[in-house]
Amino acid sequence: MRIVAGPLQFICVAITLLAAGACRREPVPTVDTSVRRVPAVQSTAPQPPPASAFPRPDRSVATIISASWDNEDSRDRVGEADTVMSLLGIVAGMSVADIGAGSGYYSVRLSARVGGAGRVYAEDIMPAYVSDLRKRIARDSINARRRGNGGTTLSNVEIILGTPDNPHLPRASVDRALLVHMYHEITQPYALLYNLFPALKPGARVGVVDVDRPTSSHGTPPALLKCEMSAAGYDQVEFHTLGVGYLAVFAPVRQSSPGEVNAAISKPEFIQRRC
């Protein structure tokens, strides 16, 4: 007798085949969700020599005693900041490092000079000064917003905590570096100038403002400054007498190693301050 399968039998067969297929299905692989530690990439950039590799200055180093050199109003009355910025050729769009920024006298004025397209790196090694400077920038920015379109918000100011031997500035970021009434307080001038060098752009200039008196009396004799800067690889290209003190301008020429500095300071012209 011929048996004809009905619809119910077809359904039973289909279910049986599907069940058998399900039993033969390969197990789903589990996903590894653990975090893998990627080996750190070793930097190929040469590390700078430690500060201890450089000679210390053969003269007194003044103690840091204040965040500001003088009253800001009196400095503005003689046009100090405007004069220095003009002599250094600081214009809109430049990036300027205020090394030893202290209370920020120059930083806030540099901010307005370079404008929104420029940058100001306000650096200091004193944590308390850096903390106070952050508060000042925040306060002055709020006041500028309240004044409306005529005020700058100082959003172009970046505050940096440096060390005595390194300003910790971004590489190739600076058109002008300014050291105002603080060179005589640098305990490691050769190391600091070595570490400043990579931050300077081609054609950059370094301006030092100080008064002509012994370093122990919070000044720097111009001949001493010229010799120390030369030993560090910076050539003096300009010198200007200010209402109070002077502005010496230097061009970076070479990044002098500890050995090169030692050789330079051993020469008779350096010892006799005839650099």
Q: In terms of DSSP H, where are the helices of the chain? A: 7-24, 72-77, 80-87, 105-114, 127-147, 189-196, 222-231, 258-265, 268-271
CB atoms closer than 10 angstroms to residue 268: 7
CA distance 124 to 130: 6
Q: What is the DSSP letter of 158?
A: E
- Longest CA span, the chain: 129
The residue with greater pLDDT, 75 or 86, is 86
148 within a domain of the structure (yes/no): yes
Q: In terms of DSSP H, where are the helices of 166-267? A: 189-196, 222-231, 258-265
40 within a domain of the structure (yes/no): no
Per-residue pLDDT tens for 207-220? 999 999 999 999 99
Q: Kindly tell me if the per-residue pLDDT of 242 is higher than 70.
A: yes
CA distance 193 to 97: 13
Per-residue pLDDT tens for 113-172? 999 999 999 999 999 999 999 999 999 888 777 765 455 669 999 999 999 999 999 999
Element (H, E) at 161: strand 157-161
CB atoms closer than 10 angstroms to residue 102: 23
108 within a domain of the structure (yes/no): yes
**Going by DSSP bridges, is the β-strand pair 174-180/95-99 parallel, antiparallel, or unpaired?**
parallel
Out of 9-13, 41-45, 108-112, which region has the weakest mean confidence (pLDDT)?
9-13
Q: What is the DSSP letter of 103?
A: T
128 within a domain of the structure (yes/no): no
**Are 56 and 187 within 8 A, CB to CB?**
yes
238 within a domain of the structure (yes/no): yes
Contacts of 272 (CB under 8 A, 6+ apart): none
Out of 76-80, 90-94, 193-197, 236-240, which region has the weakest mean confidence (pLDDT)?
76-80
- Total domains in the chain come to 1
Q: In terms of DSSP H, where are the helices of 47-95? A: 72-77, 80-87
**Are 89 and 74 within 8 A, CB to CB?**
no
147 within a domain of the structure (yes/no): yes
Q: Kindly tell me if the per-residue pLDDT of 8 is higher than 90.
A: no
- Beta partners for 180? 209
CATH of the domain at 86: 3.40.50.150
Q: Which domain holds residue 242?
A: 51-64+73-123+143-271
**Going by DSSP bridges, is the β-strand pair 174-180/200-210 parallel, antiparallel, or unpaired?**
parallel
CA distance 53 to 250: 24
Residue 76: what pLDDT? 87
Per-residue pLDDT tens for 177-189? 999 999 999 999 9
From residue 116, alpha-carbon distances to 87, 151, 252 in Å are 21, 12, 27
Residue in 198, 187, 180 with CA at minimum distance from that of residue 165: 187
Strand, helix or coil for residue 246: strand
80 within a domain of the structure (yes/no): yes
Residue 39: what pLDDT? 40
Residue in 205, 203, 174 with CA at minimum distance from that of residue 88: 205
Strand, helix or coil for residue 166: strand
251 within a domain of the structure (yes/no): yes
